[in-house]
Structure 1
């Protein structure tokens, strides 16, 4: 895993004329605080909506997820 220290060391080797490009890339990777707040609010509206499910319903749901994931992620890649 790359550490912040490694990234900073590599940034020291970036030519000065390319620093604007690097800065724009860093800005593009950062999520604006408004987006995080909106996502948190959107997510919280669903909190607890499945609390009424029984253990059996959860087990069925998880089994279905496993079946679906196996189907979706184990299918052959189409040739282009």
Structure 2
């Protein structure tokens, strides 16, 4: 599968220091049908899980955005 990054996704990855290789590895482990998908996965070396939004069309995966999901993690910390 061909994986492309939108300009926004590249900027978010640079801002939060998320390596493109990590995102590609997460996406290569998944099987997608056409449409939009949301992936939340813990990545070693990051305090919070990474959220990735992708759009799949004709076998091409386009990463729309990716960022640390701080909101969901804060609820677990308070328990």
TM range (shorter): under 0.3
> Greater strand share, 1 or 2?
2
TM-score by length of 2: 0.24
> Greater helix share, 1 or 2?
1
Q: In terms of Rg, which structure is larger?
A: 1
TM-score by length of 1: 0.24
Of structures 1 and 2, the one scoring higher in RCO (CA 8 A, sep 6+) is 2
